[in-house]
Structure 1
Amino acid sequence: MMKRVCIYAAVFCLTLYCFFLYEDEILSGLLAAEIIYFVFSSAELLILRKKISLSFGRILPIAEKNQEVTAYVTVKNESTMPGVHFRIKIRLLNQFSGETGGCVLRGSVEKKGQTTTQFTFRASGCGNMIVEARELHLYDAFHILKIKRRTNLRQKVGILPECHILPLEITRRTREFIADAEEYSDHESGDDPSEIYQIREYREKDSVHDIHWKLSAKASELLVKEHGRPMGCVVLIWLDLEQKGERLKNRRVLPKQRQKRARTPAYVLEAAASLSLSLLEEKCVHMAAWYEKENQRIVKKRVSREEHVYELMHRLLFTESYEGAEAAESLREEAFKGESFSSTVEFDMEGRISVNGVQLHRLDGDKEPEWDKLFLTV
């Protein structure tokens, strides 16, 4: 584009020089044509700037990690000018990890018509992907002049993490930890006398205090009560979403370092979702929590069924990481005041995984984690 502008400017200057140097009608006509072309093309582009509109076609709202996603952009020409050439700058940004990408779309649209062009992208990390048409460039017939218009066209795509079953050791402390809850287990008895798990026949070593005397009298045999087991959250998964250290958008960071830093938070989200599913496989009710800077509050999600894991992942997809939230720690203390857990597993955006304050693993953005070796004891 710049090359053509420079050629046009050089030709115009040469024509202007020859016009003053020689008296020739051809040179006069050529100079007039060049001036008219510039004025006419500039006016045409100013009109087109208001007559060309963009819109996104349907884009999948949820996609899986490494899945190819196809997006459509429709360009509509409401003017009577035919063959309008355009260029659209597409930007991709993962708000959770900082991963960036983009592409450029080119084409033309006829008068009073519209055209749809498509592009595909693949997200290597999970999180909330923003697909944004940032700039629209319109060209004249000879691609010499152009005009730029910024657009606010954007759409969100949630990129789901892959879930893996992690090797876990559930300690006896966690197995026998009793937490208050409104929900009780339907497959295991416990020690809460306020809830009856089942009525069964009396066995040796059963306590006399557990005999259900009224039903025993009706059935003419001894029956005992098994107490309910509260399905309280015994393990806490805490996600520290604060971005520490040098900002991802710092231009001094090398591309390879930026890519590594963008992958690490995505691995953190994937590891947290995998841990949640793995705990559920072990029938361990737990809670996931994090600080949401936008609303300045602690979000707590109880996970007792498989659908809760997917609800948790969907909520996290559209959660942004943040920088410098001093209120997070005090709000965390207030949110969990009076609550206790057998174990607390913490994840931070640098890839560190700690259990009860002891760091056990660190995820590295240089390579895919070996999930079968990510052993945790809770």
Structure 2
Amino acid sequence: MPTFGAWQLSDLIISGPDPFGSNAVANPDTVGATTFTINPAASLRFVTLSDDDSIFEDADGDQELVAPMVFDGVSYGSGGAGDVETEYSYVVRPVGSNDPADNITIYVLEFEGDVHGIASSERLLAGRDYQIVAIESDDPTVAYTAMAVCFAAGTLIATRRGPKPVETLQPGDKLQTSDNGFRPVDWVGRWRVNGRGRSAPVRIAPGVLNNDRALYLSGQHRVLLRPTAGPLVGEEVLVAAKTLVGLPGITRLPCKRIEWVHVLMPEHEVIFAENARAESLLAGPRALSLIEPQQAQALRRELAEDPLHGLPARPIVPPAKVERMILSYRGGKGPAAVAGLKLTLGT
């Protein structure tokens, strides 16, 4: 069952032509003319669907809520009473940026025929202004794994009691973090998808990230990287695994089916997966309290308000910037020419 984060239309403060006024097509008048801000007090919502494939798309009647939920002020049922589609999509970037590497695709969400929210290819930050720079599609498709951060089942996660397979983690288990000692798990989600195409896992060979065994991640899952050359020299940053494909020991590995596991903690953390440093699920400040009871009954315990809940554990470098950085390091040569690439991964 795929789970992804979404913002409600009521969370957005819009300036300019309305980009979400239609239940069918994107508004061309918004390009270059519309900006929006996510209300700083808003919280990311989690949407969990039942689907017969690994692709989120328009006009697919099999994309159904697994449990009733209230979204954008409207109550929806589960199954056939909770159809969710992505109706159209835009390309946005932070206001003030002219760099295409900052582009983010937002997918407009339609619940039971009406537009009520957005999901995105990269995290949108509450309080930041975004401008619409293009219409991406009036008939979009996106792999669920492009909107989610997850480990493959079987991945060993460092805990207070030693390494444990990620799928066996339970709320309350204490995970070893890079910054804050042992911290508790708040929620664990699991789902199985087709493991081909854009949903194929990224395989990181033993030793590449200091990992003891091969590490399998969704393409969107971020790992710790510390460049030893270039503009980010010496900085610890988080980059999506998919952007490193083609470096020595990092490949896509298509498979028939794969089970992904989400791990949510009170704050965004760098944790140890197969001894490599990778991120936990990044969520908004009060996202945990907004997960529906049917999806995560174990999250009923009270969480202290903490403004750090929605802050990334390290600076996040957009995929396009990582790809450009890698290309510049190897002198514009092809993916195989990586011998001189000066990157330290996961140390």
Structure 2 length-normalised TM: 0.21
Greater fraction helix:
1
> Structure 1-normalised TM-score?
0.19
| Bigger-Rg structure (1/2) | 1
